[in-house]
């Protein structure tokens, strides 16, 4: 167990420098010990201990974090805005969110996946913060976003969470879950994100944008939204 800390701006810069060294081919381990002291970070108040144990999926991680913060007294707004907290957690779990491949090399993606941003266009890309936030909002209905391994930023996250007006429309997200989640296979239905297949997720977003001009999707049950969808979505119902 480790006490959660908050990376300072200096700590974030040091983390960014580490990311660049890994991109350049370094196999240096993440500097969690060095950056877990002042002036690179400070301890979170209230004190909360976090596990370093592995998580199989982002869904499992999201559930763990929601439970962890549930009784902390910290509000959702305070947690969302605490970008240093999420950046420190990304450093703590760096081996999970940026694992070494078979050749022993890490594939470091865009910085926003590791250093949390207060701006939504990058916040939803953070592998730790977005896992907590989406699970906090939707619990079981977050599975399309979070069913994957910790280092994966999947197409449902990119297409849905990137649009704040979409991801905050609860009934629409519930409709999406009912359309595209395969309960038997416990994963998204095949071809749900395939641009060439009728009724795919991008097509649904296009239809939803049209429906918003006429209907208040926020106030409509998911089943009613599904009834408004054109025939191309019949095979997904």
pLDDT digits (tens, 9 = 90+) for 105-141: 999 999 999 999 999 989 999 999 999 999 999 999 9
The 10s digit of each residue's pLDDT in 175-195 is 999 999 999 999 999 999 999
Q: Where are the domains of the chain?
A: 2-140, 169-237
**Cβ atoms of residues 130 and 90 within 8 Å:** no
- Give 100's DSSP letter: B
Residue 231 has pLDDT above 90, yes or no: yes
The 10s digit of each residue's pLDDT in 63-75 is 999 999 998 999 9
What mean pLDDT, rounded, does the chain reach? Answer: 95
Kind and range of the H or E run holding 63: helix 58-70
Which residues fall within 8 angstroms of residue 106, CB to CB, at 6 or more apart?
22, 98, 99, 100
Q: What is the pLDDT, as a whole number, of residue 1?
A: 86
Half-sphere exposure of 59 (CA within 13 A, CB side): 14
Percent of the chain with pLDDT over 70: 100
Q: How far apart are CA 153 and CA 137, in angstroms?
A: 18
Q: What is the pLDDT, as a whole number, of residue 233?
A: 95
């Amino acid at each position: 167990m480790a006490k959660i800390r908050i990376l300072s701006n200096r700590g974030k810069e040091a983390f960014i420098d580490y990311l660049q060294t890994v991109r350049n081919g370094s196999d240096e381990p993440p500097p969690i010990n060095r950056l877990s002291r002042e002036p690179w970070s400070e301890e979170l108040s209230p004190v909360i201990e976090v596990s370093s144990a592995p998580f199989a999926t982002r869904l499992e991680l999201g559930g763990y974090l929601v439970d962890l913060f549930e009784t902390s007294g910290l509000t959702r707004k305070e947690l969302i805005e605490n970008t240093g907290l999420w950046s420190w957690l990304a450093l703590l779990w760096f081996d999970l969110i940026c694992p070494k491949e078979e050749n022993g090399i890490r594939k470091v993606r865009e910085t926003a996946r590791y250093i949390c941003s207060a701006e939504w266009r990058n916040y939803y890309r953070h592998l730790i913060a977005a896992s907590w936030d989406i699970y906090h909002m939707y619990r079981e209905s977050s599975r399309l976003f979070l069913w994957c391994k910790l280092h994966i930023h999947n197409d449902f996250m990119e297409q849905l969470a990137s649009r704040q007006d979409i991801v905050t429309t609860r009934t629409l997200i519930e409709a999406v879950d009912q359309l595209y989640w395969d309960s038997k296979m416990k994963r998204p239905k095949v071809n749900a994100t395939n641009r060439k297949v009728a009724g795919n997720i991008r097509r649904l977003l296009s239809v939803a944008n049209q429906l918003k001009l006429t209907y208040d999707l926020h106030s409509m049950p998911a089943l009613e939204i599904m009834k408004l969808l054109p025939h191309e979505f019949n095979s997904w119902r």
